[in-house]
Amino acid sequence: MVGAPAQAQAPTLTSLAPVRNALAVPRTTALTVGFSQPLSSSSAQGVCVFSTRRGGRLTGTTTISGSTLRFTPAQLLQAGETVSATLTSAVRSLNDVPLAQPQVVRFTTATTPSAGLFTGGSDPAITNAPYAVAAGDLNGDGWPDLITHNAGNRLSIRLNTGTGTFSGGPDVGVLNGMDLAVGDVDNDGDLDLVVDGGGSIVGPPSGTAVLVRNNGAAGFSSSSISFPARVTGVALGDVNGDGYVDVIGALAGALNIRLNDGQGNFLASGQLVGGGNKVVLGDLDNDGDLDLVATELGYPGRVLTLLNDGAGTFRLSETLPTSSYPLQTRLGDVDGDGDLDVVTVIQTQVANTPGVLNLFRNEGQGTFTRQADVLVTVSPQDVALGDVDGDGDLDLVSVSLARNTASVRLNAGTGSFSDAQEVSVGNRPYSVVLADVDDNGTLDLLTANETGTSVSVRLNSQVLATSPRAVTPAWQLYPNPAHEQVQVELPAAFRGQAVQLCLCNALGQVVREQSLNPTAPQLSVAGLAAGLYTMHVRTSQQQLSTRLLIE
């Protein structure tokens, strides 16, 4: 009797670099994945890498060598950003058997060592009262721009000049709300925006979120995403491993998962699960998919964790009681053990009483134990996690509504925090984000100030002398304005290194690219349309950028 033919085995992951939830990953890193068997050449189509700061889905080079897949981004990653990579079912064996389970991997890039002190900066004006702030490169020039969700049905965009100052940019009509998410929802290589419609202090609620599509040059168009109840929070991430960014709406009592069809259109219905007024995503149990953490406002307060089965279906895992009324939750590996911990802002408005952040330590499989609270300035409203001093661990920055300050708490590396600085910001800061807005490799501080109708930008500019980027090298292009060709004069620190020139137009599109010839350091601009361009000069260690006018 002839037996049935053996069924071909599906490939599985055997190695991964960077590992899941890795911190301080070099900005020039490549994603390298080992599999249990050799891959087909078509598997190169199965890797999708997204930047949360750089401009959405990244371009790059994917190579297959036997059972190893390697993706090398074409762009230098932003300092301190979270990068997300999906390995879809398009990854296949030589026998055309798909990956056993799609995988989503997130890691955080390194920042330059600094004193972690915030000084200077500016307070660009915002239309109406801003309640949420985010940062991301919206026009493809390589610098994070500023986005706020405001009262009065407005979304404000302020474009980065490249030095951490902001000007210009449109206001976009949306709905009243207090949340904002940034991601490439239509897979076209730029960052789009999603805002809630849950109402603000001065505006009514709505059962709708608004998708604001980016055309790549900071031009926007809006459309609605209908939900079955009031939307009080939004988050973005690929929850089913198909390479597309999905949207999760917090509905003040349930989470609604809406899957993306690949064009930025979301299924008309989706799973309703759990509860919560705010939601964040991360791989809590290190199994290669994005789980959910929901903050449920009220007394007694609690935080819910919901684990993903890999296909975008969730189940309630744990309910974490908080010390009092929770406002917002963030995720990050604060104790450096390779898994995501939970940090929750607790509402405290008693005069002269310290503010509190509840810290829940991940025990390794998505189960949590509450640790000692982190004390901050009274009346905290939001918190951001990031490596502000460049020592390889995640620090905390919270904002105080009552004192108009940001509290900086530096991490000792094990999840214990020391007081570092109280930074003055605008009136009634509701939201805080960390991003390298002045391109020196350190994380700067941005707060959305409600009654100040501004965003406070505080720069982290005291780079340590031991850092290779301690002094930003002087360089220039000439002539500028240019006509036929431009000379590139680089600092001495660049000599002997391989240098790549990349010239981008106002849409962020690459129009000229070449390796720099040290004996003839010039680039032809003949045939290019007159206008303002951005020149990027890259080595394996850093990138410099400046404007070039062509006449």
pLDDT digits over 84-117, tens only?
999 999 999 999 999 999 999 999 999 999 999 9
- Tokens for 51, please give them: 């930047």
Question: Where residue 484 falls among pLDDT bands split at 50, 70, 90?
Answer: confident
Confidence of residue 472 (pLDDT cuts 50, 70, 90): very low
Q: 362-379: b or e for each residue (b if 16 or more CB lie within 10 Å)?
A: beeebebeebeebbbbbb
Check pLDDT > 90 for residue 327. yes
Q: Is the pLDDT of residue 1 over 60?
A: no
Region 136-159: what's the mean pLDDT? Answer: 94
Pairwise CA distance, residues 337 & 111, whole Å? 19
CB atoms within 10 A of CB 184: 24
Look-up of token digits 């009080």: 232
**Would you identify the CATH topology of the domain 13-108?**
Immunoglobulin-like (2.60.40)
**Beta strand pairing status for 103-109 and 22-25?**
parallel
Q: What is the reported pLDDT for 8?
A: 79
Average pLDDT across the chain, whole number = 89
Using one digit for the tens of pLDDT, what is the confidence trace for 202-216? 455 568 899 999 999
Domain with CATH 2.60.40.1220 in the chain: 13-108
Residue 98 is given by DSSP the state B
Closest CA to 505 of 217, 292, 132: 217
* Average pLDDT rounded to a whole number, residues 344-350: 84
Torsion-angle region of 189 (φ positive above 0: left; ψ -120 to 50: alpha; else: beta): left
Torsion of CA 228, 241, 264, 158, to 10 degrees: 100
pLDDT confidence bin for 221, thresholds 50/70/90: very high
CATH for 476-550 (3.40.50.10860, 2.60.40.1930, 3.90.79.10, 3.30.1950.10): 2.60.40.1930
How confident is residue 492, by pLDDT bands cut at 50, 70 and 90?
low
513: helix, strand or coil: strand
Range scoring the smallest mean pLDDT among 222-236, 375-389, 478-492:
478-492
Helix (H/G/I), strand (E/B), else coil: 46: helix
* The one-letter amino acid at 266: F
Q: Which amino acid is at 457?
A: V
pLDDT at 462: 80
* pLDDT average, residue stretch 411-432: 93
Amino acid at position 40, single letter:
S
Q: Residue 497: its pLDDT value, please?
A: 76
Distance CA 440, CA 444 (A): 10
Confidence class for position 4, pLDDT limits 50, 70, 90: very low
Question: Confidence band (pLDDT; 50, 70, 90) for 473?
Answer: very low
What are the tens digits of pLDDT across the range 162-178? 899 998 889 999 988 88
Percent of the chain past pLDDT 70, that is, above it, reads 91
Q: Quote the Cα angle for 298-399-431, to 5°.
A: 75
Query: What's the maximum distance between 2 C-alpha atoms anywhere in the chain?
Result: 84
Half-sphere exposure of 424 (CA within 13 A, CB side): 3
Torsion-angle region of 531 (φ positive above 0: left; ψ -120 to 50: alpha; else: beta): left
Counting residues of the chain whose pLDDT is more than 90, the rounded percentage is: 67
The length of the chain is 551
* Residues carrying CATH 2.60.40.1930, the chain: 476-550
Q: How far apart are CA 207 and CA 235, in angstroms?
A: 16
57: β partners: 50
In contact, 291 and 274? CB cutoff 8 Å: no
Task: Kindly give the pairing relationship between strand 374-376 and strand 31-35.
Answer: unpaired
Confidence grade of residue 469 (pLDDT, cut at 50, 70, 90): very low
What pLDDT does residue 498 have?
A: 82
pLDDT in tens, 352-368: 788 999 999 999 889 99
- pLDDT value for 306: 96
Given the structure tokens 């952040």, which residue do they identify? Answer: 357
* Cα–Cα distance list, 450 to 340, 408, 440, 457 (Å): 31, 20, 29, 15
Average pLDDT over residues 22-42: 94
Q: What are the CA-CA distances from residue 461 to residues 108, 121, 444, 502 (Å)?
A: 21, 10, 8, 26
- Which DSSP letter does residue 61 get? E
d(CA 272, CA 445) in angstroms, rounded, equals 35
8-state DSSP, 93: B
Band of pLDDT at residue 281, cut at 50, 70 and 90: very high
